[in-house]
Amino acid sequence: MSGATVTLLYFARLRESLGLAREEMLLPAGVQTLQVLRAHLAARGGAWAEEMAPARKLRAAVNQTLAQGDAPLKAGDEVAFFPPVTGG
């Protein structure tokens, strides 16, 4: 599906490194899973390449639920990237 807009959120160390807490994105054609979205963001280079690198330990949530790389994306989704959690 093309023409799908999603909201991207970044937290904690990621938010600081990227200098961004939130953005709206029109999903490019072919970006239909979390994993592909991550690779797409890494392609922005600089801090993006570093933080989104496959070797980097990163967690992601789709619509506020922890999700794996093969999670499908659709219009209106809220997608969040963040480091492993450290609460409690």
Partner 1 sequence: MSVRIQEADFDTAAEIAAMRRGNPKIGAIASFIGVVRDINDGDAVSMMTLEHYPGMTERSIGAIIDQARGRWEVLDALVIHRVGTLKPTDQIVLVVVACSHRGDAFAACEFIMDYLKTQAPFWKKEVTPQGARWVDARASDDEAAGRWRN
Q: Give the pair of three-digit tokens for residue 37.
A: 């979205």
Work out whether 88 is an interface residue with partner 1 (CB under 8 A): yes
Burial class (CB in 10 A: 0-12, 13-18, 19+), 37: buried
Question: Minimum Å distance from CB 59 to partner 1?
Answer: 8
Residues 23-82 contacting partner 1, CB under 8 A: 57, 61, 64-66, 80, 82
Q: With contacts defined by CB under 8 A, how many residues of the chain interact with partner 1?
A: 17
Interface contacts to partner 1, rule CB under 8 A: 9, 11-13, 57, 61, 64-66, 80, 82-88
